[in-house]
Structure 1
Amino acid sequence: MDKKVISIEKRKQLLLRLKRMLMKNEGALLQALQADLGKPQMEGYTSEIAVLLNEIDFTLRQLHKWVKPEKKYEIKIGYFAKITKRPVPYGRVLIISPWNYPLQLALLPVINAIAAGNICVIKPSEYAPVTNKLLKKLIHSHFTEKEICVVTGGAAVAQRLIARGFDLIIFTGSHEVGQKVYEQAAAKLTPTIMELGGKNACIIDETAFKEVHIREIVWGKFFNAGQTCIAPDTLYVPESIYTKVVEMVVRTILNFYGEEPDECSDFATIGHDVHFKRVREFLSQGTIVHGGKVDASRRSISPTVLTDIDESSEIMKKEIFGPLLPIIPYSSLESLLASDLLQKDALTTYLFTKKMDQIQLLRQNLKGMVSVNKVIHHAGSSQVAFGGIGRSGFGAYHGEAGFSACSYQQTDYRAFNYKYLRKKYPPYYDHAFVWVRRLRRWIF
């Protein structure tokens, strides 16, 4: 790697080049996303291309603030000090991205890494072959290998890349694969950012039982056929309105996708065969109130509502990551939080309510992010640090958080002496120790 730090102007040029690449090839990218995941054009653009363009625009506007050194001063007995803190790029960043958002989750970390002055290597998931092939072609035709590089392949390729040694690794994917990546990176003491997803509970109370909220929940759940790390995983509903909510959810699904969702161009397909098999097995773990139609030839599972689910079943323990929505009744938020049903360190927990005390109660009992009366939208905001905790991962990126995550703070400490303190040095005297204890704040 060239040890010379990439200039701010060069970083801006790289970001603008990436923006032009996305805009110029928008149609081809949307076609690739449709080929891999059956993504509707609207979902492909809003969740992949638009998010990236917005992140680039935001970064270009704010970059001059982020790179500005921070200066502080200290006055002590005998000297004063000037402290300068400046963000420095790690160097080479390896980005291992998943298949469910093969464009956004490959390039959004790149935007943050470039802004911080790094060189990027992308290892996309092999389960999005059409998008990966196009992405590799576009990146290599717009950037040099000393700027951005794409390396395709499976798990063995990722292992070889990690073994080569990088200065920072950003991984997005499953908990199981993430743990293997983390263990291999730890052997080289490589800093990592892990985005691992989880079971994101969605809780609604009586005060929020409105059609607009149900539409929001259904949209978020079945967007990209449920294959979103921050999708509402399971819906928890008060017993008093349980039947009404289930009926409204079903009506909303019909309004969105019709009687034959497998023929609807606004509904995506399952990403690959292995995942299709995994999601299909969940269908038998509850009563199918709506949906449940499966087409293996198209890797299609229709939007499905499940009830009467055993708390010990696999679907209640594992992230669904598909178009299946279990709806579970609860008596009170206190009892729900006291149970083992909620993953307390999920990537996001959604709450639909008008009651501030319910919001506070949820925040006090959870480790992860809480989103009130809206689903998914926070992940598209460059103002929000996106990241998990515990089982849902660690580290965060997007916007300034991404810039900070892709750089480390280098500190310069410069002292200017104006008085010699003889008694600070050996041999030490008892009376000097007394004064040091009294004046410690002004000496050290």
Structure 2
Amino acid sequence: MPDNENHFLKTLPEKQREELLRQGSPSNEMRKKQLLKLKNILVEREKELTDALYSDLGKPAFESFSSEIAVLLNEIDYVCKHINKWNRTRGSRYLKLGYIESLRKKRHPYGSVLVIGSWNYPVQLTLMPVIGAIAGGNSCIIKPSEYAPAVAELLKEIINQVFPLEQLHVVTGDAQTASLLTTAPFDLIFFTGSGQTGKRVADQAAKQLTPVILELGGKNPCILDETGFSAAAVKDIVWGKFINAGQTCIAPDTLFVQRSVYEKTLAEIYTVLSDFYGEQPQTSKDYGRICTEAHFQKVINFIEQGTVQYGGAYDQADRFIAPTVLTDIQPGSSVLEEEIFGPVLPVIPYTDLNSLLSGGSLQRDALTGYIFSTDKHQIGRFNEYMRSSTISVNQVIHHAASPHIAFGGVGQSGYGAYHGKAGFLAFSYEKTSVRTYHYLRFPGKFPPYSERNMKALKKLRKRIL
């Protein structure tokens, strides 16, 4: 990388910070204005964004709008509606012995924020945290994924044309660029991607004591018991698994089916796949493609680890992998241990939930857990078992589009959360101004201390401290 470009990237945070210090924390109206400018970009350039998503991922226009653009538009509307309430100054007073304590609490921006986006939903997962960053009053540098190059270049063009460098700026490049940015003196880093890369980002940020929000992956289990089985339930599960060709961080990763409805479930899955994509899914205009060659090879390796019940076909030149259902998988296989992130659905029979949970087949640290059931006891047992920020009962995917629900990981699936108010809170910190009004002075709090004053302290501690 040329020295001048290296210097430019390194000094970006400082330029943005200087502007924030010069103008002060943006008003609520200024934040809304920036958000509406971003909204106008999404509306006016929708066709170009949709075309770029098709180029990178073969994503159908319906999925592009519903899972990327519409989600962002709804988030902006929600934030603009509530930002005045979230960002108001809150005051309180407390009567103490000898003085009145007055507190004024206000959220403040971190400053210059780095957002590193992901390739699987390259518009939504790049711009959703940017909405939170703007709501929090920050300036932002955006690094889209190089694995979705058409979207990355388009975002660079349309955002850098509309926003000044001191507010928002898109930087494109490969892993070297991302690595250089994570060593720059940002005030907060937001990363979406793999756990392996997330660890490197966190390690680098730790050297500078830069706070980090990590949105990683995980093997989201999906349980279908005999009380929850229906054609509608299977249809939801199949849709959630194979939307975006399975490249969704909250997709049902592995389906665990109660043995009494196992065969019926397999038959219903085949019916739904045929209805969705036809007998030749490669020709379906509603089915996407694998983003990269390396990921294509990884998913093909997963297919070879079990019996292909349905699907299994692939075309490397087209980056096409058919919706595939696997059965008869040996315990310990990587398809059961690693996040699949592709159109391969292992279907595993189980007898009872307690045995399933105690057997170690379900990874607790997931972005979410799914259960289709009407048995409140089973739902409660699953809820207690999972160590994730959400549990979804009788639905998949939809919760992640809601601004009312904080989205984030726990443990191996990351830390920190955003969406809606959670995004505003994640990208700001609380500053408290403390003021005291004395009506009496007590010299006994100063050295030299006495036994008498110690007795008084113990008696009156709630009014003193």
TM-score range, shorter chain: over 0.9
- 1:129 equivalent to 2:139? Answer no
Per-residue deviation, residues 81-127 of structure 1 (Å, max 9, x unmatched)? 11111100000010001110010011111111001110011111101
- 1:55 equivalent to 2:67? Answer no
Q: Paired residue for 2:338? A: 318
- When the two chains are superposed, the root-mean-square deviation of aligned CA atoms in Å is 0.7
- 1:225 equivalent to 2:248? Answer no
- Structure 2 residue corresponding to 1:35, chosen from 44, 52, 55: 55
- Structure 2 residue corresponding to 1:301, chosen from 313, 316, 321: 321
Q: Paired residue for 1:384? A: 405
Rounded Cα–Cα distance in structure 2 between residues aligned with 1:150 and 1:68:
30
- Structure 2 residue corresponding to 1:371, chosen from 392, 404, 415: 392
Report the Cα offset of residue 422 of structure 1.
2.0
Report the Cα offset of residue 358 of structure 1.
1.2
Report the Cα offset of residue 5 of structure 1.
1.3
- 1:75 equivalent to 2:101? Answer no
Query: What SS does structure 1 have at the residue aligned with 2:131?
Result: helix
Q: Paired residue for 2:422? A: 401
Report the Cα offset of residue 232 of structure 1.
0.3
**Amino acid of the structure 1 residue aligned with 2:63:** E
Per-residue deviation, residues 402-423 of structure 1 (Å, max 9, x unmatched)? 0000001111111110011122
Query: What SS does structure 1 have at the residue aligned with 2:79?
Result: helix
- 1:252 equivalent to 2:272? Answer yes
- Structure 1 residue corresponding to 2:363, chosen from 331, 339, 343: 343
> Any unmatched runs of 5+ in structure 2?
1-16
**Amino acid of the structure 1 residue aligned with 2:260:** S
Per-residue deviation, residues 184-225 of structure 1 (Å, max 9, x unmatched)? 011001000000110000001111111111000000000000
- 1:164 equivalent to 2:184? Answer yes
Rounded Cα–Cα distance in structure 2 between residues aligned with 1:45 and 1:249:
26
Rounded Cα–Cα distance in structure 1 between residues aligned with 2:48 and 2:146:
19
Rounded Cα–Cα distance in structure 1 between residues aligned with 2:136 and 2:237:
36
Aligned residue pairs, count: 444
Q: Paired residue for 1:288? A: 308
Q: Paired residue for 2:433? A: 412
**Amino acid of the structure 2 residue aligned with 1:115:** A
Per-residue deviation, residues 213-249 of structure 1 (Å, max 9, x unmatched)? 1000000000000000000000000111111111111
Q: Paired residue for 2:348? A: 328
Rounded Cα–Cα distance in structure 2 between residues aligned with 1:340 and 1:123:
37
Report the Cα offset of residue 73 of structure 1.
1.4
- 1:434 equivalent to 2:434? Answer no
- Structure 1 residue corresponding to 2:36, chosen from 6, 9, 16: 16
Q: Paired residue for 2:107? A: 87
Query: What SS does structure 2 have at the residue aligned with 1:251?
Result: helix
Query: What SS does structure 2 have at the residue aligned with 1:122?
Result: strand
**Amino acid of the structure 2 residue aligned with 1:295:** D
Rounded Cα–Cα distance in structure 2 between residues aligned with 1:130 and 1:422:
70
**Amino acid of the structure 2 residue aligned with 1:28:** E
Per-residue deviation, residues 284-339 of structure 1 (Å, max 9, x unmatched)? 10000100010001100000000000111000000000000000011111111111
Q: Paired residue for 1:216? A: 236
The runs of 4+ residues in structure 1 deviating greater than 3 Å are: none
Query: What SS does structure 2 have at the residue aligned with 1:285?
Result: coil
**Amino acid of the structure 2 residue aligned with 1:100:** N
- 1:199 equivalent to 2:226? Answer no
**Amino acid of the structure 1 residue aligned with 2:66:** T
Mean Cα displacement is larger for which, 54-63 or 415-424?
A: 415-424
Query: What SS does structure 1 have at the residue aligned with 2:304?
Result: helix
Q: Paired residue for 1:154? A: 174
**Overall identity of the aligned pairs, in %:** 49
> Any unmatched runs of 5+ in structure 1?
none
Q: TM-score, normalised by structure 2?
A: 0.95
Q: TM-score, normalised by structure 1?
A: 0.99
- Structure 2 residue corresponding to 1:116, chosen from 136, 148, 160: 136
